[in-house]
Chain A
Amino acid sequence: MLHIKCPYCGMRSQNEFAYGGDASVKRPELNKEISDSEWDNFVYLRKSLRGKHLEFWHHISGCRQWFKVQRDTATHEIFKTLKPNEDI
């Protein structure tokens, strides 16, 4: 079970969190004309990385905040956790 540092609450066990997908994906702005392939990339295409992965987690059984986690998908090592507006 992972031990994840919520940027708001501190170290908590994985069972308080929900995984929330790739955090490197940025939603296209509203009302902006974009191509089918750009939209397709946003909705469907994800890298299945082996190694460092930036991902969202949601502290559902805690502060209910979404935040970013940089984690190694192979070793589960967590390098850093960030608030959603912060970058690596």
Chain B
Amino acid sequence: MQQNFRLNNIGLINRDKKISFKFNGKSYFGYEGDTLASALIANGVHLVGRSFKYHRPRGFFGAGIDESYAIVQLYRNNETDPNVRATEQELFEGLEAKSVNCWPSINFDIGAINNFLNKFIPAGFYYKTFMWPKSFWYKIYEPFIRKAAGFGVASIKHDKERYEHKYEYCDLLITGSGPSGLASAYAAAKNGARVILAEDKPRFGGSLLTSEVTIGNQSGIEWANSIITKLKQMPNVTVKNRAQVFGYYDHNMLVMSERINDHLPKSKKYSPKQRLWYIRAKEVVISSGSIERPLVFGNNDTPGVVLSSAAKEYLKVYGVLVGRNPLIFTNNDSAYETAIEFKKNGIWPIVLDTRSNPDSEIIDEAKRMGINIKFSYVVIAAKGYKKVKSAEIAKISEDKKELGQIENIKCDCICVSGFWTPTIHLASQSGNKTKFNKEIDAFIPSQSKQEETTVGSANGVFTLEETLKTSFAVGHELSKKITNNDNRLPVPQVVEKKSTHHDKFWCVPLPKGKKYKRFLDFQNDVAVTDIELALREGYRSIEHVKRYTTLGMATDQGKTSNLNGLQLVSSIENKIVPEIGHTTFRPPYTPVTIGAIVGREVGKHSKPTRKSPMHLWHEKNNAVFVDAGVWLRPRYYKQGNETLFEASKREAAHVRKNVGVCDVTTLGKIDIKGPDAAELLNRVYTNAWMKLPVGKARYGVMLREDGIVMDDGTTTRISENHYHMTTTTAQAANVLSHLEYYLQVVWPELKVNVVSTTEQWAGAAIAGPKSRNVLQKLFPDTNVSNEGLPFMGYVEASLFGIYARIFRISFSGELAYEVNVESDNGNFMWEKIMEIGKEFEIQPYGTEALSTLRIEMGHVAGSELDGRTIPYDNSLEGLVSKKKDFIGKRSLNRDAFVAKDRQKVVGVVPLDKKTNIPEGSHLVQDANAKLPNPKLGHISASCWSVEFNNPFSLAILHDGKNMIGKKLFALSPLKNKSIPVEIVSSHYVDPKGERVRS
């Protein structure tokens, strides 16, 4: 199959390797080294999509990241990626891509009717039309806009690819491998600096790949290759291609996305698809180059209208012609390079130059080659719907207002050049106060805020000689600051063609009676008339104009459109561009995949998973796990076909009448040592701690300074100056930080050290009337009788030769013990408990039964200590010392906290003794009161009381103290329930607490 637009003898592609691919279902082939865009153009395919608003036909406009048209849906290895730029996507065997934004097909697009209605879709149309009535938005307007407008389709499948994050440090990060990047990287590397050189494209060299210059005794491209080869061999240099530095953040942190496998049919084994680099650089050299600006004329969005630099790149890199009958429309010298390349390859271009009589070396050369050049000429409009067929051209007067000698000439592409816009995004993101340079009609970096220097055309320097000179100097100076070396390299001699000034003219006036659309933003279909309308309607700030018209808001972020938009606003407003200022540049400079941002933190890896040393035993014994903070805890142990409800009832009931064991390893544990340990506890807990004897535990409550309960737990005095504190599973980390804060910042005079020992101890709670029998058999040499180890007592003991700590504390309200051993012995302890407990029919119980047991006992936990309650609310006021001061005490005097009708925890029982009350239900006086129904309280925790065999809940209730015996309603609009309830004491089971002391 012949490729009509491919040349045989030019380009950097590998013609020995053919690659087949599909576009919109049709098979084509290209060569190794092609992009999807170059391969399609080689095959004569110019229609690749439809525009966002009017669904106008879209072709290719650029050859790289600036592409605003050729966005495709990509299919690779049974996965699909939306919004891939065809100009960046390298061709691989079996690649498949489809157009987006057109339905039902690219050649017949229903949305294109918008194009004929377009006078009804001016700027702000969506804002004005889809505003009212409000209720229409979700149901009618939004789905309509989404269906008609959406770009690609995100896959809903799990992404099987791997994405990685990497953290890196360097002396110099250099963003772009054009002449300025290569020179500064080489100069800095030779001076001993650690350098990272990042290139977005697969090939290094930037403009040197396509320019006709000589550096030293080499061509530009040979010089680029030799520098890259040398850099790659240096141990202090990292060179990355396919790597885009897209964000410049605080303190010289930059983020780069590296596409490692996107150019291959499938990712290599053990290799991530993409990698996100977080790079902390001492100095940053921005060598990101510049992007050619379009010229604005009628129908300038027609497929076949391309940037002149892109046409040159397709030709010189890929051997591809964007057309065989090219018209070149320019206001500056650089398009002549494109014209000369066409001519050298046997194609006769016509050049229209807006300038009347420019004089420079390159224009002379074009003239010598016999190229047809028309000065003071413009393109008024492109003709043709799906591809340029001809152009309406005219002579333009010196004042650029009058058009004359209008004629139609045949052409199959129009290569435009409206001069160059430095890529200042990274500099601007870093906080650089950019300034407008009138010479080049564009912004360039100025005052740096961070350690950043911009070189080359990104800094508005457009000659190679000056670029190399300054870049070698910058590389040397910056590296010298860091390494103190002074190894200066000679700057090579440059041969390049001299250019003359560009024409400040860029927007062709409409001839009388013609209403051609002249586009500024090609992806979002923003035309000259839209900006004019926005200004007529009173928008002045460029940020507002941007949002109202959507100029520069598409996936290309206005890379080609922003500056023309600014110039238009400035000419209408009669202000100079710098007064208007540019819109803020924000990361990312180019789109980044969600996969790369998320990295490995997906699914199970999205947070760490902590498992107790007994986890495997739980797994083997049919535990069903639940996330408790970062821990996995057994929720219940399933027997047969039991449901969660049945299993938790069985487990809880077994504890009440027999004995159960629960893994409590997850409780936070803090080891506290030092002569002032008791003093610290006395200050952080609300109750008194100075007189706790060695070998005793005490329950404590700690507050925040605002009087709200922060956490509760028991602390045990292990020896004279040694305490063991427990916290709730959820608050463990916060409590440690809290203690450290007071010890390091507020009371540094206290001689105390604290350290987390949560993971050092494995814990098992043995609870139930027969727990002492189990304990006695576990520790035959230890006196665990009620006298030997009374309630809140502590002993150290030997568990078959292993050191163990026994705490007689109880969360379940039954006679209970907690045994701790070093984590490595956790499983041994657990198996011993199960083995010895067999005789007493011991059963493991999970968190659900644990909840049931504590709720019916009225023990408050996280659902009551919810960051909104004080000790009184939790019936813990008895633990608040009147004598001593402690953290948060002063706040407890607040009027609301001492109000007579202050909220308090109560028990709640449904009148029918059957209906479960959903947690979160509101308690109200009258179930049928007018909304909003005054809320008296809320249900904080619910369970099935195994003691009474009916539902029981805890609630935080207004004036709870005086509500016992009252009848209220529990309302749950979410579950559509209204339940008559009675308020009872929160201590539903064993209100006197006799069992724990038995």
A42–B737 Cα gap in the complex (Å)? 19
Contacts of B449 in A (CB 8 A): 75
Contacts of A65 in B (CB 8 A): 740, 744
Contacts of B746 in A (CB 8 A): 27
The answer, among A1, A30, A44, A66, for a CB contact under 8 Å with B885, is: A30
Q: Are B253 and A3 in contact (CB under 8 A)?
A: yes
Q: Which residues of A in the span 2-35 have a Cβ within 8 Å of any Cβ on B?
A: 2-3, 13, 18, 20, 27-28, 30-31, 34
Q: Are A76 and B250 in contact (CB under 8 A)?
A: yes
User: Which A residue's beta carbon lies closest to that of B754?
Assistant: A64
Contacts of A76 in B (CB 8 A): 250-251
Q: Are A66 and B745 in contact (CB under 8 A)?
A: yes
Contacts of A78 in B (CB 8 A): 251
Are A39 and B741 also in contact (CB < 8 A) when A2-B250, A3-B280 are? no
Taking the complex as formed, is A58 at the interface, i.e. its CB lies under 8 A from any CB of chain B? yes
Q: Are A75 and B252 in contact (CB under 8 A)?
A: no
Total A residues in contact with B, Cβ cutoff 8 Å: 27
Taking the complex as formed, is A45 at the interface, i.e. its CB lies under 8 A from any CB of chain B? no
Q: Are B741 and A20 in contact (CB under 8 A)?
A: yes
The answer, among B252, B705, B744, B886, for a CB contact under 8 Å with A42, is: B705
Dominant secondary structure of chain A at its interface with chain B: loop
Contacts of B167 in A (CB 8 A): 13
Q: Are B737 and A58 in contact (CB under 8 A)?
A: yes
A39–B249 Cα gap in the complex (Å)? 39
Q: Which residues of B in the span 620-657 have a Cβ within 8 Å of any Cβ on A?
A: none
Most chain B beta-carbon contacts within 10 A, residue among A18, A66, A78: A66
Contacts of B407 in A (CB 8 A): none
The answer, among A13, A28, A66, A84, for a CB contact under 8 Å with B280, is: A13
Contacts of B741 in A (CB 8 A): 20, 56, 58, 66
Q: Are A64 and B740 in contact (CB under 8 A)?
A: yes
User: Which A residue's beta carbon lies closest to that of B741?
Assistant: A66
User: Which A residue's beta carbon lies closest to that of B707?
Assistant: A43
User: Which B residue's beta carbon lies closest to that of A31?
Assistant: B885
Are A1 and B253 also in contact (CB < 8 A) when A27-B746, A42-B705 are? yes
Taking the complex as formed, is A85 at the interface, i.e. its CB lies under 8 A from any CB of chain B? yes
Contacts of A85 in B (CB 8 A): 748
Taking the complex as formed, is B987 at the interface, i.e. its CB lies under 8 A from any CB of chain A? no
Taking the complex as formed, is B80 at the interface, i.e. its CB lies under 8 A from any CB of chain A? no
Contacts of A20 in B (CB 8 A): 741
Contacts of A30 in B (CB 8 A): 683, 885-886
Binary interface profile of B, 345-368, with partner A (CB < 8 Å = 1, else 0)?
000000000000000000000000
Contacts of A44 in B (CB 8 A): 706
Contacts of B891 in A (CB 8 A): 39, 43
Are A34 and B890 also in contact (CB < 8 A) when A42-B705, A58-B741, A60-B737 are? yes
Taking the complex as formed, is B75 at the interface, i.e. its CB lies under 8 A from any CB of chain A? no
User: Which A residue's beta carbon lies closest to that of B683?
Assistant: A30
Q: Are A3 and B431 in contact (CB under 8 A)?
A: no
Contacts of A34 in B (CB 8 A): 890
Q: Which residues of B pack against A, CB within 8 Å?
A: 167, 249-253, 278, 280, 431, 449, 683, 705-706, 733, 737, 740-741, 744-746, 748, 884-886, 890-891, 893
5 tightest Cβ-Cβ pairs between the two chains A and B: A3-B251, A30-B885, A84-B745, A31-B885, A76-B250
22 contacts between A and B (CB under 8 A): A1-B249, A1-B278, A2-B251, A3-B252, A3-B253, A13-B167, A20-B741, A27-B705, A28-B890, A31-B884, A31-B885, A34-B890, A36-B893, A56-B741, A58-B737, A66-B740, A66-B741, A66-B744, A75-B431, A75-B449, A76-B251, A84-B744
